[in-house]
Amino acid sequence: MGRTPIAALPESTRRTTADPYGRHRPPPPPPYQFYKKWFPWLVPLIIIVNIVLFISAMYINDCPSHSGKCIGADFLGPFAFQSTRENPLLGPSAATLLEIGALQVGKVVDDHQVWRLLTCMWLHAGAFHLLANMLSLLFVGIRMEQEFGFLRIGLLYVIAGVGGSVSSALFVRTTISVGASGALFGLLGAMLSELLINWTIYEKKMESLTSLIFIIIVNLAVGILPHVDNFAHLGGFVTGFLLGFILLIRPQFSYIKNKTSPYRYSNPSKSKYKTYQYILLVLSLAVLIAGLSTGLTLLLDGVNGNDHCSWCHYLSCVPTPLWSCQARCSSSQFENQLNLTCLDNNRSKFYLLGNHTTTAAIQRMCGELCHGG
């Protein structure tokens, strides 16, 4: 006893819709989701890998075995942090970072350790550095992976990180470099280019563009502070911006509607992409290949970007009355022996001076002493 469910009725008794002429048509299809949503698993995995590598770096560092001044040695044991005077970000020593893969120009150029361009983006200078980068990746990366999938976002993250490393190595010559900032700025750059190349499918275009540009400007402005590698930020951003035109291009709505419509009322010859999308894709691909190839060639040839761009250092640090962009050292000299003491961390070292040692060379020595290079 009871009512028979509608779905169980015989085919002949089911209702169909009729047009004004009495002809029967099948019911309309359910609403179609134009762009597939992906389950985000790669970005959380990247975050976990970065955390595991940081913990491993702290274990390798083993501060209590190599230094008498450690933070948290009583309860952290071998995972204790270096003193804040040596590493204010609460992390390992610069020597440990260099040992496990940090970017250092001399290692890349002289020892041909090109792999450091990739490994440095998976290391972090300290707990604060790791926390800031992983929170940024969580908020930006999850949404992008949901929209575009793990393959495209994974390629974007890694290639943008390498682009940031190449840019950093060309201009930052006296310090080591670690961190995922280049890859993160690559994601920001890709968000901007994705908005531009898919301009016609967005409703609130100018509102989205204005808010995104504001976020990018604020983040890049932080790079003018001392001891921040803005060249990695800029290199990663430009690389990601170009990759966005290549990897994040979307088909037109009209093309998708025609492809999914059961009636095929739309123009069957409708192009999948607009002409301007094809143009931006081809130009970006050409510029990206040329830029990365040229940058890598110049780096391996030992070219110092600062020698060919006298103002480029202002892109990474702008001196103000509140801070100086150069490392500060006190010095004393006896014959050809120079003793430098970094005023930031009180580290000292003796150097043998040659007959043609310049002031710029001494400043580089000071930079290496202060930043652990």
Catalytic residues: 181, 233
Cα gap 91→82, rounded to integer Å: 6
302, 260 Cβ separation under 8 angstroms: no
Residues in a beta bridge with 341: 330, 348
Cα gap 220→146, rounded to integer Å: 26
Cα gap 232→179, rounded to integer Å: 9
351, 365 Cβ separation under 8 angstroms: yes
125, 179 Cβ separation under 8 angstroms: yes
Cα dihedral across residues 139, 145, 148, 154: positive or negative: positive
Cα dihedral across residues 163, 166, 169, 175: positive or negative: positive
Cα dihedral across residues 67, 70, 72, 78: positive or negative: negative
Residue 111 DSSP code = S
Residues in a beta bridge with 323: 320
Give the other-Cβ count within 10 Å of 312's Cβ: 14
The phi, psi pair for 18, rounded to 5°, reads -125, 145
The CA distances from residue 141 to 16, 73, 79, 209, in Å, are: 46, 35, 29, 18
Give the other-Cβ count within 10 Å of 220's Cβ: 16
192, 241 Cβ separation under 8 angstroms: yes
